[in-house]
Chains A and B, each alone.
Chain A
Amino acid sequence: MNIIVLVKQVPNTTHIKLDPKTGNLIREGLESIMNPDDLHALEAGIRIKEETGARVTAVSMGPPQAVDVLTQAMGMGADKAILLSDRAFSGADTWATSYTLSKAIEKIKDYDLVLCGYQAIDGDTAQIGPQIADWLDIAQATYVRDIESLNKNKAEIIVKRRLEDGFERVACKMPVLLTIISELNNPRYPHMGQLISACEQKAPIQVWNAADIGVKTIEVGLEGSNTHVIKTFTPNFKRQNELLEGSTKEVVSDLISRLKKSDTSISHRL
């Protein structure tokens, strides 16, 4: 059985800092990490490998330095890794990104399972997984929080999907693309020996460009995108930012009387 895990290198947005004067994002010194949900997808793939002897291939699209997340993936137990890197891929929206990744997956061939995190912390779109499933014309299950059973002979996998009011158990025909949420598992740390081998010259990390996966440059990157950024700006929220002063008793009664006077539905109930 063959498993493809899609991983993305993202800036660690939990440590994001804003320039106090301009309000702009400070990108310098921003650490790059593997997208957190992708770690869970990778862990899921490696656990299936341990149970069934499946082969795990990690795939990432990004600039040359994104090779770091693939090294990490190999360190965790992936058998092979492929970096899709080409200047022509840059500026891609989810349409062009999912197209590029699906072309790479088609080139890898003979896959039974495609795993990825349900969304990336830098974009939060959650679109890439379902779009790839559609390019490949395979089933999808999103928000997967448990992989119950996998029956290779019946080509069926049973998963639990998180819903807003609970969860559902779904049987999916393989091949299938699953997007993984963090509840699924606890990712392991990379194994030092494997990490060192992943950094060696002969490590099975390949770099594929546009020609390697057979796409035209007008089909990918910014040119191949259907959506385009018109402008970016820093949000501005105007509130009076008033700090109430006095003793605990005073500030509390001050606030309650302000709420009573406010034009909200609860003002008359207080």
Chain B
Amino acid sequence: MTIWIIEEKCDGCQRCIRVCPYDGIEMKGGIASITERCTSCGACIEACKKNHAIESDIEPRPVPDFSDRQGVWVFAEQNQGKLARVSLELLGKAQELAEDLGQEVSALVCGKDVSHLVQTLHDHGAKSVYLIEDDALENFRTIAYANVIEDLVLTHKPNILLMGATGLGRDLAPRVSRRVGTGLTADCTQIVIDPEEKLMYQTRPAFGGNVMATIACRYTRPQMATVRPGVMEAQPCKIENTKIIRPEVSLKEPDIRTRILEKILEKKPGTDISEASVVVAGGRGVNGEKGFAMLREFADLLGGELACTRLIMEQGILPHDVQVGQTGKTIRPEIYIACGISGAVQHTAGMMGSRYIIAINNDPLAPIFKLANWGIVGDVHEIVPEFIKQLSSGGAS
């Protein structure tokens, strides 16, 4: 399995270099040259159609017939009988995908006493709801949930299965994908159906959001993806002839192999930054606890929540659940106010989907200004108090 370049035919156009996902080609003396990073994926061969300067001995892998794989499924995540918001967001996306494919949307919900969630799922686009209730499913446990979903997928053969990229989804989805023998793309920010092949094109950030990669699962089904909360939009709708399916389950406690001894809540309710319409975030340029107390006041005046960068979390000033970025949360509030944040990609990966971005920073060259709708160059500790003053006295004249 190799790829080689026919040097006489290469005109040095560098098209192959631009399409190579692995940095596997470089220019040497004006012509392309394959490096050791090459994985023989063949993307360059496509790009070099004009000159036919790239050849390989890769045999194309046959695409199986998947015409019996029908339906766009959403795993509806619930906790203590409450639906995770991302489940409804996924149903919104599933409606679009199903329409493009001419297929139907189904939701599956697992738990104990969760039948009250069915109507909400119907009202957000699920024509069919697979309702799986069992004592063993009361609290999420990976193997119990994976066993149930595996049975459903193998029996009903969906085309697509979407899950939230939540703590639960990121624990469960890989296990399910392995179990049913298919690929999985994590943390997608964009999902569309390719009009030609009718494949699900899944786009996700890589290298901390520096590069976006579009990924397809061509040879196996279902096509599985997890999607971060806040990325898609819920779309309430009216559906007729809805269906509820209650599959049989036979879970044996010893097979599940984990027992939950207790759950301890650590967070005050109502501070979920991914639900807030306004988020005030602070970074390195904010002066410790005192500075963040000031930002908290600012956020309160706007009816928003306080968030931070990784550094602030690591300094112990704010907890992990309000950290925004690659290793924290992805949020897309209506208004994101970045205070003293330079705008490293690790952070911006988590907030660039915000509707309006406002940046306050004393360094006019900070990359955050390139992302912002509006920027103010100045010291956070002068600007924010002025905001607080004007907002509390009834705003601008």
Contacts and interface: CB of A to CB of B under 8 A. Distances in A.
Interface of A: 11, 13-14, 16, 18, 24-25, 27, 63, 88, 90-91, 93-95, 98, 121-131, 133-135, 138-143, 158, 162-173, 176, 183, 217, 221-223, 225-235, 237, 239-244, 248-249, 251-260, 262, 264-266, 269-270
A241 B261 contact: no
Contacts of A270: 302, 391, 395
Contacts of A13: 207-208, 346
A63 to B, nearest CB: 8
Contacts of B36: 63
Question: Which interface class (under 10, 10 to 19, 20 to 34, 35 or more) fits B?
Answer: 35 or more
A122 B207 CA distance: 5
A105 B275 CA distance: 42
Contact of B321 (A25, A164, A226, A239): A164
Interface string B128-147: 00000000000100110010
B67 to A, nearest CB: 19
A269 B179 CA distance: 51
B212 interface: yes
Contact of B182 (A24, A143, A226): A226
Nearest to B344: A14
B222 to A, nearest CB: 11
B217 interface: yes
Interface centre among B170, B215, B216 (most CB of A within 10 A): B170
A167 B355 contact: no
Given A25-B211, A229-B43, A270-B395, 19 more contacts: A88-B1, A91-B39, A91-B40, A95-B182, A124-B186, A129-B174, A131-B178, A134-B178, A135-B178, A167-B266, A169-B261, A176-B257, A183-B320, A228-B215, A230-B216, A231-B43, A248-B382, A252-B383, A259-B356
Given A27-B23, A127-B174, A234 B212 contact: yes
A4 B54 CA distance: 42
B394 to A, nearest CB: 9
B216 to A, nearest CB: 5
Contacts of A243: 364, 369, 374-377
Contact of A130 (B171, B213, B217): B171
B179 A134 contact: yes
Contacts, number: 279
A252 B174 contact: no
Contacts of B174: 94, 98, 125-131, 134
Interface of B: 1, 19, 21-23, 36, 39-41, 43, 61, 79, 139, 142-143, 146, 166-167, 170-175, 177-179, 181-187, 201, 205-220, 257-267, 277-278, 302-304, 320-321, 326-327, 334-335, 344-346, 352, 355-358, 364, 369-378, 382-383, 386-387, 390-391, 395-397
A25 B40 contact: no
B175 A244 contact: no
A232 B278 contact: no
A251 B383 CA distance: 9
A125 B345 contact: no
A248 B183 contact: no
A166 B267 contact: yes
Contacts of B181: 226
Contacts of B321: 164
Given A121-B208, A134-B179, A256-B390, A266 B277 contact: yes
Determine chain A's interface SS by DSSP, over half rule. mixed
A266 B302 contact: yes
Contacts of A242: 373-375
A121 B39 CA distance: 21
A90 B170 CA distance: 24
Nearest to B262: A169
A126 B372 contact: no
A244 B376 contact: yes
Contacts of B266: 165-167
B373 A139 contact: no
Given A16-B210, A233-B211, A90 B373 contact: no
Contacts of A25: 207, 210-211
Contacts of B382: 248
A260 to B, nearest CB: 7
A151 B89 CA distance: 42
A222 B171 contact: no
Interface centre among A143, A171, A231 (most CB of B within 10 A): A231
Contacts of A98: 174, 178
